Structure 1
Amino acid sequence: MKLLIRLVISTLAIIVAANIVPGVAVAGTMTAVIVAIVLGILNTFLKPVLQILALPITILTLGLFYIVVNVFIIYLASYLVDGFSISGFMSALFFGLVVSIVSGILGMFLD
């Protein structure tokens, strides 16, 4: 049940971020649900591998390269999901930031 609630929270965060951040387009609610699922899968399986591989660069940049890994995950999700598009690096960066903030705020009510 908690997984379903997390999916709804992520979907709402993606819809809010798509409406706030310029350069981000989500075709509809079903596309937002698919994006939430794809981002969840990518963050679970691919992101830890990328973080380990990028650890030397992340240390050299004092953690700033971690942002590039997050943006890459969002770009990959936009490539995998039809109806979800990101126009540039800054759009992906702000999209990730807004999704994190909105998910955090909505997730507070879950705990």
Structure 2
Amino acid sequence: MKLIIRWLLLACALVLLTQLDSGIQIRSFGSAMWAAFVIGLLNAFVRPLLILFTLPVTVLTMGLFLFVINALTFQMASHLLEGFQVQGFWHALLGSVLYSVCSLVIDVALERLLGPRFMPPPQ
């Protein structure tokens, strides 16, 4: 249940991003849900590979290159979906940073409201 609530809230965060940044466009809430799903999949499977391949650059930039990786995964989701468009790298960078902040806020709020993720309910 927590996963579905998180998914819906992240889709709402993407819709909010379209209001904050004119370079990010979403056709409908359904498109926002698909975009949140695809961004989650890219963050789970592609992002770790990008981090591994760019580890020397990430170390040299003291971790700042991770912002570029986040922007690339955000823009990659845009290229995979028709209803979600990002107008360039700088909009992807801003969008990925704001989306990450929204994700952090959503995770903390859900943790406080619904309890820890992997703990069974008390008996």
Shorter chain as normaliser: what TM range? over 0.9
The SS at the match of 2:110 is: coil
The SS at the match of 2:85 is: strand
Which range moved further: 33-42 or 98-107? 98-107
Q: CA deviation at 1:96?
A: 1.0
| Larger RCO of the pair (alpha carbons < 8 Å, separation 6+) | 1
- What's the TM-score, normalizing by structure 1? 0.93
Q: Distance in 2 between matches of 1:78 and 1:90?
A: 14
Name stretches of at least 5 consecutive residues in structure 1 with no aligned partner.
none
Opposite residue 74 of structure 2, the aligned amino acid is I
Q: Distance in 1 between matches of 2:17 and 2:50?
A: 24
Runs of 4+ in 1 over 6 A off after TM superposition: none
Aligned length: 111
Name stretches of at least 5 consecutive residues in structure 2 with no aligned partner.
112-123
Tell me the C-alpha RMSD between the 2 structures: 1.1
Q: In the alignment, what sits opposite 1:70?
A: 70
Q: Distance in 2 between matches of 1:16 and 1:98?
A: 10
Identity of matched residues, %: 34
